[in-house]
A and B are shown apart, each in its own frame.
Chain A
Amino acid sequence: MTNASRNPAYRRYTGRMIPLSLAYVGAVGLASWLIPDGAAANVATVAIALVPGLAALGWIWAMARFLVELDDEYLRMLEIRKFLIATGFALAITSVWGLLELFTNVPALPIFFVWPLWCVGLAVGQLVNWRQTGAAGCA
């Protein structure tokens, strides 16, 4: 195990994230096709809308397994730091925007965007890792 990308945990993580992401995109596409814009929340529409959520839960599971299975302590430290930076990034933006929503008439930020914001935070975390250590981690 001399290269981070050769770590089996990384390969398993990629092997889980790719099908989950394809399932997510497919489920979102299917929901968009089946549910018309502005549809009322009933059993059918809620059930269809929740299907992509299963893939999102799968992402969280895959990330947790990745950290558990990553046996290289230095790489694990880099990944955990990335996750913490991403969490801080998403919380900072959403909490500050929430206050703006509370006290001003700025448009509401849909909760849907919390996850994409967290993923942008991952990129920020990767950049921080790279600047501080010269290694960005492997995921």
Chain B
Amino acid sequence: MKNRLKQLRAERAWSQGDLAAQLGISRQSVNAIETGKYDPSLPLAFRIADLFGARIEDIFLRDVQQQEA
């Protein structure tokens, strides 16, 4: 699943480690989510959304192909 996590993080000049520390997860997790290798659980997605003051759907983007299917 594509997401805007890297962009949002860059806007705040946070490193992956900074974001990981604020979310209480590993830097590897942040990297995996940013690169679309791992989709976070709903509770973690809510924590990410709360941290950026945004809605989940503003951060995590639906796959266009999934929408068409």
Q: Which residues of A contact B (CB under 8 A)?
A: 1-4, 7, 71-75, 77, 132-135
Complex Cα spacing A14 to B31, Å = 25
Q: A75–B28 contact, CB under 8 A?
A: yes
Q: A74–B27 contact, CB under 8 A?
A: no
Q: Count residues on chain B whose CB falls below 8 Å from chain A CBs.
A: 18
Q: B21–A1 contact, CB under 8 A?
A: yes
Q: A1–B24 contact, CB under 8 A?
A: yes
Quick one: which of B16, B21, B28, B40 has the most chain A CB within 10 A? B28
Q: Is the interface of B mostly helix, strand, loop or mixed?
A: helix
Give, as a whole number of angstroms, the nearest-CB distance from B9 to chain A.
13
Q: Which chain A residues border B27 with CB–CB below 8 Å?
A: 2-3
Q: Which residues of B contact A (CB under 8 A)?
A: 16-17, 20-21, 24-29, 31-33, 37-38, 40-41, 44
Give, as a whole number of angstroms, the nearest-CB distance from B21 to chain A.
5
Query: What total count of A-B pairs have CB within 8 Å?
Result: 46
Complex Cα spacing A3 to B17, Å = 8
User: B16, B21, B25, B37: which contacts A72 (Cβ < 8 A)?
Assistant: B25
Q: Which chain B residues border A3 with CB–CB below 8 Å?
A: 26-27
Complex Cα spacing A61 to B37, Å = 30
List 20 extra interface pairs beyond A73-B29, A74-B38, A135-B31, CB under 8 A.
A1-B21, A1-B24, A1-B25, A2-B16, A2-B17, A2-B21, A3-B26, A72-B25, A73-B25, A73-B40, A73-B41, A73-B44, A74-B29, A74-B33, A74-B40, A75-B28, A75-B29, A77-B38, A133-B32, A135-B28
Q: Which chain A residues border B16 with CB–CB below 8 Å?
A: 2
Give, as a whole number of angstroms, the nearest-CB distance from A67 to chain B.
15
Give, as a whole number of angstroms, the nearest-CB distance from A94 to chain B.
32
Give, as a whole number of angstroms, the nearest-CB distance from A9 to chain B.
11
Quick one: which of A1, A72, A74, A133 has the most chain B CB within 10 A? A74
Q: B26–A4 contact, CB under 8 A?
A: yes
